[in-house]
Homo-oligomer: A and B are copies of this chain.
């Protein structure tokens, strides 16, 4: 009768003595059903061990039960954290997780994404920075009928489609923390130009300095690209200055650790000779010595929140929290500057 050996909606309908539409209504938790019928059908479902066929539902609804993470981000730890967060968000549901990298520099990126969406028809999409900032790509999701959430460092869309961290505020807090420790010659290692998160982080740095009435010394602001090497390079330049900074804020942990290596290679002790603060709170930050004081970026929480917005009712997504705060993790890489 059934090729797969599994009961279908028809089997349930027959066994329960109702139509399959009624069974369908039970599956989909339709509100207009007598309590009696619902209970009875639910019992039959349980008795038969019926599990609705996801592919058939997907076919009828023209939507797969899948959340896709679309990204153009080379950072392995970030990706895995996002995946973990999404998986937590869809735990105990019928949803699965797909991953689709794209090439930001490709002229066909929009076409590539459209094709992906039309092929796989994911229920929803999580867009990671930096491509989450592109309105045209978000529009693509809307056109394809996908729910979507854009992750970033600033609010990119309506609450329904946004999950962000408050990088600016968190950095301001971190730099203020350095200032409160007594530092005033504070260096900044920037992130790659042209992206929002580095800009926000730099903004927070400047705000903290301005708030404390300290002028930002351009000599102490070094470019970086979020890579370990760029942190080493910037660190080298900083510690070799005739009057080096007493503290460094790096826009991510990898660069902060690069700067640590550079400082140490030049004979400086950390934190005694120079304090260092990072951003992200990657596992590495607890692995180096001294443990890196850094800003915890709640990327797992953000991804979980994004997934829940997508699979939950739209009105709930609109009212749900979209700001997940970054917070300072005080560890071992900061002390007050040496008295001169």
Contact = CB atoms under 8 A, between A and B. Distances in A.
A120 B96 contact: yes
A287 B233 CA distance: 12
A55 interface: yes
Given A58-B55, A83-B99, A94 B76 contact: no
Contact of A287 (B100, B228, B288, B289): B228
B98 A119 contact: no
A215 interface: no
Contact of A54 (B56, B119, B227): B119
Interface stretch (A33-41, A59-67, A128-136, A178-186): A59-67
A132 B96 CA distance: 21
Count class of interface residues, chain A: 35 or more
A121 interface: yes
Contacts of A120: 54, 65-66, 96
A72 interface: no
Contacts of A68: 96
A140 interface: no
Given A76-B80, A79-B76, A287-B228, A118 B55 contact: no
Interface in A202-236: 227-229, 232
Interface of A: 4, 51, 54-56, 58-59, 62, 64-66, 68, 76-77, 79-81, 83-84, 87, 94, 96-101, 116, 118-121, 227-229, 232, 258, 261, 265, 284, 287-289
Contact of A100 (B56, B77, B97): B97
Nearest to A287: B228
A96 B119 contact: yes
Max chain B Cβ within 10 angstroms of own Cβ: one of A64, A232, A265: A64
Given A99-B99, A265-B289, 13 more contacts: A54-B119, A55-B62, A55-B64, A64-B64, A79-B83, A80-B80, A83-B99, A83-B101, A94-B119, A96-B98, A96-B100, A228-B287, A261-B289
Shortest beta-carbon contacts, A-B, top 10? A76-B80, A59-B59, A228-B287, A76-B76, A76-B77, A96-B120, A55-B59, A98-B98, A96-B98, A97-B99
A65 B122 CA distance: 13
Nearest to A68: B96
B287 A62 contact: no
A77 to B, nearest CB: 5
Nearest to A265: B289
Max chain B Cβ within 10 angstroms of own Cβ: one of A56, A120, A284, A288: A120
Given A55-B121, A56-B59, A62-B55, A97 B96 contact: no
